[in-house]
Amino acid sequence: MVYTVTFNPSLDYIVSVEDFRLGLTNRTDSEVILPGGKGLNVSIVLSNLGIENTALGFVAGFTGEEIVRRVEGMGVKSDFIRLREGISRINLKLKSIDGTEINGRGPRIGREAVGELMGRLDALGEGDVLVLAGSIPGSMPDETYGKIMERLAGRGVMTVVDATKNLLMNVLEYGPFLVKPNSHELGEIFGVELRDREEAIPYARRLRELGAVNVLVSMAGQGAVLAAGDGEVYAAAAPRGKLVNGVGAGDSMVAGFLAGWMERHEYGHAFRMGIAAGSASAFSELLATREEVTDLYRQTAGSRMGGFEDRKTYTA
């Protein structure tokens, strides 16, 4: 079974305002409410791709109940821990001003609740997959992901981590199967600016040397790079298409890679599935569907013109 953990899920209130004016009353032209959080995005896309999974994490208050209702309505199983105090956060995302959003803080997660989550993770074993994605609330220490990985060590659980800086670096010694920084996050770790796929390759390899089995680097319109567990490095340009909504594209890439790996256990196939899923979400108002992913995969597999390079482009 695949499990995802989202420590601080949200309701995302996504609106567009045709002529936004600061300091005045504005009215929306469109609005939609969706469950949010990186782990939940992975769960939803996995479910869309036919991979059964269970979403774990913490919810609180009426917003928490709405998150659960919406997630389960999308076909995802959930086993959230209900917190007694606070409410799950609401994030406001303004579509008409690209990248503008106001994210809530979320409830405080106490030691007892963390212990309850750890108890649920103790049930995982050989053949299970655990995805740790996104930030954690300020009430929890940076080594939380590392402590989870340490607890699962030696049990045969395949782990995936999509997080930034210390959260990511603290897990590498435990040999996660997959980590997925974007190019900005990867550059931030090593104090460099990465402008293209070729520049990202040596730093992706560095993360492998530090313990990760696979390092998948998302690079938006530049495509992606995979420093793979077989010692090869795969690189691909992004498929052609119109960017509609970049939110969740990286999480969709994680889900696509996992689905591809579970299907064939081939790195090249998993890589292509990851790019197809990430791009399908970027080209859509909502997260990628199976049909959208399949269509992009078929359009681009084997093509070197605006699509996938159908070869291993670098050798370790």
The reported pLDDT for the residue numbered 47 is: 97
CATH number, residue 291: 3.40.1190.20
Task: Give domain status of residue 221, yes or no.
Answer: yes
Separation of alpha carbons 316 and 304, rounded Å: 22
The reported pLDDT for the residue numbered 221 is: 83
The reported pLDDT for the residue numbered 314 is: 37
Task: Give domain status of residue 200, yes or no.
Answer: yes
The reported pLDDT for the residue numbered 301 is: 53
Query: What is the residue range of 186's domain?
Result: 177-316
* Domain count of the fold of the chain: 1
Task: Give domain status of residue 243, yes or no.
Answer: yes
Task: Give domain status of residue 2, yes or no.
Answer: no
Q: Which residues pair with 89 in a beta bridge?
A: 10
The reported pLDDT for the residue numbered 310 is: 41
pTM of the model: 0.91
Task: Give domain status of residue 234, yes or no.
Answer: yes
Q: Which residues pair with 159 in a beta bridge?
A: 130
Residue 303's contacts (CB-CB under 8 Å, 6 or more residues apart) are: 310
Instruction: Please identify every residue annotated as catalytic.
Output: 251
Question: Is 7 in contact with 134 (CB distance < 8 Å)?
Answer: yes
> Which residues of the chain, if any, have pLDDT below 70?
98-99, 300-316
Residue 193's contacts (CB-CB under 8 Å, 6 or more residues apart) are: 187
The reported pLDDT for the residue numbered 312 is: 44
The reported pLDDT for the residue numbered 233 is: 94
Task: Give domain status of residue 141, yes or no.
Answer: no
Task: Give domain status of residue 227, yes or no.
Answer: yes
The reported pLDDT for the residue numbered 304 is: 34
